[in-house]
Chains A and B, each alone.
Chain A
Amino acid sequence: MTAEVKVLTKNFDLRTPGEPVFLEKYEANGGYEGFRKALKMTPAEVQQAVKDSALRGRGGAGFPTGMKWSFVPMDDFKGQKYLVCNCDEMEPGTFKDRALIQNDPHQLIEGMLIAAFGMQMTKGFIFVRLEYRFGSSILDKAIAEAEAKGYIGKNILGSGFDFHLETHLSAGRYICGEETALLNALEGKRANPRSKPPFPQIRGFLGQPTIVNNVETFSNLPHILANGAEWFKSLGLTGNAGTKIMGASGRLKTPGLWELPLGTPIREIMEEYGGGPSRSPWKCIIPGGLSTPFMMPEQFDTPMDYDTVGKEGSRMGTAGIIAFDEDDCMVAATANIMKFYARETCGFCTPCREGIPWIYQIVTAIAEGKGVPSDMQVLDEMSKHILHTFCAFAPGAQGPLLSAITKFRHEFDAKIAAANPTASSDPVVTHATHPEPAGV
Chain B
Amino acid sequence: MADKVKITIDGVVREVEAGSNVLQAVLDEGQIIPHFCYHEALGPAGACRLCACMIAPGPDKPARLEMSCMVRASEGMIITVNDDYAFKFRKQVIEDLMLSHPHDCPVCDEGGECMLQDMTVLSQHQHRRSRFEKRTWVNQDLGPFVHHEMNRCITCYRCVRYYRDYALGEDFGVYGSRDRVYFGRVEEGTLESEFSGNLVDVCPTGVFTDKQFRDHYTRPWDLQTSRSVCPNCSVGCNVLPGYRHNTLRRVKPVPNPAVNRFFMCDRGRYGGEFVNHESRLTTARINGTETDIDSAMKSVAERLKEIAGKYGPGAIAGLGSDRATMEANAALHLLMKGLGSNRVAYFTNSAERSAVRRAASVTASGEVTVPTLTEIEQADCILIFGGDVTGEAPMIDLAVRQSVKNGNPLFICSPRAGELDKFAKASWRCLPGEEATIASFIGSVPAGSEPADDNYVQTAGAALQNAKKPLILCSVLHEDVNLVEAAFSLAKNSTATASRTCRLAYFYPAVNSVGAGLIRTDENPDSLWADIEGGRIKALIINERDLDLTEGVDAEKLLSKLEFVVTIDSYETATVSASHAVLPCVSHYQGFGTLLNYEARAQALDGMQFSTSVNLAASEILAALIQQAQIEEQIGSTEFHDIYDVTREASQQMDRLRTGDAGCVVRTSPKLPPSAQAGLGTGSAGGRLKKWKVYHTFGSEELSSLSPGIVERAPAAYVEINPEDAAELKLEDGADFNLTADYGVSGTVRHNEKLSKGVIAVPVLVNVGKATPAEVTA
Contacts and interface: CB of A to CB of B under 8 A. Distances in A.
Interface of A: 173, 190-191, 195, 342-351, 353-355, 357-358, 361, 365, 372, 374, 378, 381-382, 385, 388-390, 429, 431, 434-435, 437
Given A350-B97, A354-B100, A390 B130 contact: no
Contact of B178 (A342, A349, A350): A342
Contacts of A355: 92, 96
B114 interface: no
Contact of B129 (A343, A347, A357, A429): A429
B132 interface: yes
A431 B126 CA distance: 11
A350 B50 CA distance: 9
B46 A195 contact: yes
Given A347-B179, A388-B49, 12 more contacts: A190-B177, A344-B178, A349-B46, A349-B47, A355-B96, A357-B179, A382-B92, A385-B92, A388-B52, A390-B49, A434-B127, A434-B129
B44 to A, nearest CB: 8
14 contacts: A190-B174, A191-B177, A348-B47, A349-B46, A350-B47, A350-B49, A350-B154, A355-B92, A378-B129, A385-B96, A390-B49, A429-B129, A434-B129, A437-B131
Contact of A390 (B46, B92, B154): B46
Given A353-B178, A381-B92, A389 B49 contact: yes
A347 B181 contact: yes
Nearest to B177: A347
A396 B260 CA distance: 44
A344 B179 CA distance: 9
Contact of A345 (B48, B92, B177): B177
Contacts of A358: 96, 99, 130, 132
Interface centre among A191, A346, A355, A365 (most CB of B within 10 A): A355
A361 B49 contact: no
Contacts of A349: 46-49
Nearest to B181: A347
A346 B48 contact: no
Nearest to B179: A357
Interface in B90-119: 92-93, 96-97, 99-100
Interface in B29-52: 46-50, 52
A158 B127 CA distance: 71
B70 interface: yes
If over half of B's interface residues share one DSSP class (helix, strand or loop), that class is named, otherwise mixed; here it is: loop
Contacts of A190: 174, 177
A79 to B, nearest CB: 15
Interface residues of B, number: 30
Nearest to A175: B177
Contacts of A342: 178-179
Determine which residue in A349, A354, A361, A389 has the highest number of CB atoms from chain B within 10 A of its CB, and name it: A354
B132 A173 contact: no
B129 A351 contact: no
A346 B52 contact: no
Nearest to A342: B178
A385 B91 CA distance: 10
A390 B180 CA distance: 18
A157 to B, nearest CB: 36
B673 interface: no
Interface in B138-175: 154-155, 157, 174
Given A346-B178, A354-B99, A385-B92, A374 B46 contact: no
A385 B49 CA distance: 11
B761 to A, nearest CB: 35
B129 to A, nearest CB: 6
A382 B96 CA distance: 10
Interface in B210-269: none
Nearest to B133: A361
Interface of B: 46-50, 52, 65, 70, 89, 92-93, 96-97, 99-100, 127, 129-132, 154-155, 157, 174, 176-181
Contacts of B47: 348-350, 390
Q: Select the residue from A191, A372, A381, A429 with max chain B CB neighbours within 10 A.
A: A381
A-B pairs, 10 with minimum CB distance? A354-B96, A347-B181, A357-B179, A361-B132, A347-B177, A345-B178, A350-B49, A385-B92, A350-B96, A349-B47
Nearest to B86: A388
Nearest to B160: A190
B131 A350 contact: no
Contacts of A354: 96-97, 99-100, 179
Most buried by B among A347, A431, A434: A347
Nearest to B66: A388
Q: Of A345, A374, A388, which is in contact with the most chain B CB atoms at under 10 Å from its CB? A: A388
Given A342-B178, A388-B89, A350 B48 contact: yes
B130 A353 contact: no
Contacts of B99: 354, 358
A437 B174 CA distance: 33
A374 B127 CA distance: 13
B637 to A, nearest CB: 62
A371 to B, nearest CB: 11
Contacts of B176: 347
Given A351-B93, A358-B132, A346 B177 contact: yes
A338 to B, nearest CB: 12
Contact of B179 (A353, A385, A390, A429): A353
Given A347-B155, A354-B100, A357-B179, A435 B49 contact: no
A381 B174 CA distance: 30
Contacts of A346: 177-178
Contacts of B178: 342-347, 353, 357
A361 B745 CA distance: 65
B547 to A, nearest CB: 54
Contacts of B131: 372, 435, 437
B361 to A, nearest CB: 45
A388 B65 contact: yes
Nearest to A191: B177
- Among B49, B93, B157, B176, the most chain A Cβ lie within 10 Å of the Cβ of B49
A402 to B, nearest CB: 16
B177 A350 contact: no
A357 B177 CA distance: 12
Contacts of A348: 47, 157
Contacts of A435: 131
Contacts of B70: 195
Contacts of A434: 127, 129
Contacts of A382: 92
A382 B93 CA distance: 10
Nearest to B156: A350
A431 B65 contact: no
A385 B48 contact: no
Contacts of B97: 350, 354
B129 A173 contact: no
Contacts of A343: 178
A416 B542 CA distance: 83
Q: Which of A349, A357, A435 has the largest count of B CB atoms less than 10 A from its CB?
A: A349
A347 B46 contact: no
Contacts of B129: 374, 378, 429, 434
B155 A353 contact: yes
A422 B180 CA distance: 37
Given A349-B46, A350-B93, A351-B49, A361 B179 contact: no
A173 B89 contact: no
A353 B174 CA distance: 15
